[in-house]
Structure 1
Amino acid sequence: MQIPHKDPRIIAPTTRATGFSAGWNFNIPLTTRVGTGYIFSSKFLSDDAAMEELLAFYGDQAKGCEPRIIPIRTGRVRRAWVKNCVALGLSGGFIEPLEATAIFMTDLGVRWLQHYLPTQDFEPELADAYNRQVARVYDEVRDFIQAHYHLNNRQDSEYWKAARDGMTLSDRLKENLKVWRHTTPEGLDLGSTYLFSSPVYTLLLIAKGFYKDLRLAKAPFLSRTAYERFRTGERKARPGQIAGLISHAEFLKTGGKAAAGPLATPSVAPAFTPGGMKIKLPLQTASRSARRKPKHR
């Protein structure tokens, strides 16, 4: 569903995902409009109820808009490359769009094909190697998205409870979640890191409260006093960092040509290794899922 900006002079520079009763809403600010929709499970919500919830969320901003129902079939083909045919992008598979990986995976598939197709003989060994890579990256995306749903802490709807308790997790994710109760994620825990590395998993686990009330043996220590000192310094420095910068709406309109002033210096946060060495880190249309319990394969 396409809706107008509340104020064309103010365009957010980020995509926003918001949890709904039976799924989630995406909000993607574009130059002239906002792309939005509701990814929901028809097992827990009817089409009409989903459209009503979506329109109610946006209120007057969505006045006159009519969402379309687009069924989603999740999964991937068993073999992306068979003889002289290769399934790229959405023709080869589709995973819940929470992480918006489709474009990246299409580009990755093309790059791999360029490597594994040196001749026009379609050697089966090369096709098998290509298919292993494709399967690996799909499994990587599946595990990361499963982690989002399985670790949710919402109690306000049957959908979110089922997503947490009724989802069939991959064997690798189940094993890793047990390991990560005792230590933070490492690259060696993951079979593939084309998109989601161990630091990304660490941030997800922290945000989901996975480590709440746990004290890991190798966890770094940062005192509340040091953290508050850092936050105070950041707040004081922020006005000077953004002075002279244009708005995101103006940036899109001019291609950044009207930007003035030097680039802001990246902020740094204090961090401590277990051994005590001090280092610094830079801070940096409605749809419907298949008619089954929310799980991913």
Structure 2
Amino acid sequence: MLTTEKIALFVLLFVVGVSSIEACVLTRKQRNSDTPFDWYEVWISLADMAGRKLLALLPLSLAAPVFALAWDHRIFTVTLNSALMVFLLFIGQEFCYYWYHRASHRIRFFWATHAVHHSPNQLTLSSAYRLGLTGKLTGSAVFFTPLVWLGVRPEIVLATLSFNLLYQFWLHNTWTPKLGWLEWVFNTPSAHRVHHASNVDYLDANFGGVLVIFDRLFGTYVEEHADEPCRYGLTTPTRSRNPLVVEFEHWISLARDIASAGNVWTAIRYVILPPGWRADGSGETTEALRQRI
């Protein structure tokens, strides 16, 4: 009988195995190119995954007590006993994921973790499981609290989120072409390449998990254009091959800005405003970068 632990192990072996095969193929294809495949990007992703697995053994989660409170005060008790209820859960989870993901790009406190996912300077399947060690400590899962408050059990909400993230594994590649009409509804490799690009015109776009309908609804969908190839990584690229630097450089930068803020309100704004914001107006937020074009 398949247990949750066995399923998790199978998924782990699958994603690592497939991403390793891709890495070997790309190494061969790019051997004589101007941009050879960088295996250090894979090692850092593997180190990130291993670190998160170890941290998962510790009872460290800001979201857990919030989920418990929401469950104790739920307004319904949802039973997934029909296709309609499963569909509604899927749409609700996708809606929450969109706002979690958008906030992770627009609020520096959450970006300090999420930037780790965007730090690879090449987009490969291994990028999918470089998620940052500090996610549980920031309480980012609280964005899914409305589902618990509506009556979906917390473990079901987290399981649904896991399936969402598993779907996104295959999106992290440069070799899948556009997929026709599917681009209008689903998050595809093409849409996700835009999301990972540091080109100014592509910044802060395509936040959906499985779907792009909320991106289209809220005006954050951007199509990949053949005349503007995606440039991967951060606007200020991460060059370090030290996993600890990759994991914590944005937290250290945030701490330095808070320490030098001069007053409490400026310190708070460094935490809650978009990455790149500076008190003296010299920052490089997405809006500032676009104004300079």
- TM-score by structure 1 length? 0.24
User: Which of 1 and 2 has greater Rg?
Assistant: 1
* Bigger relative contact order (CA 8 A; separation at least 6): 1
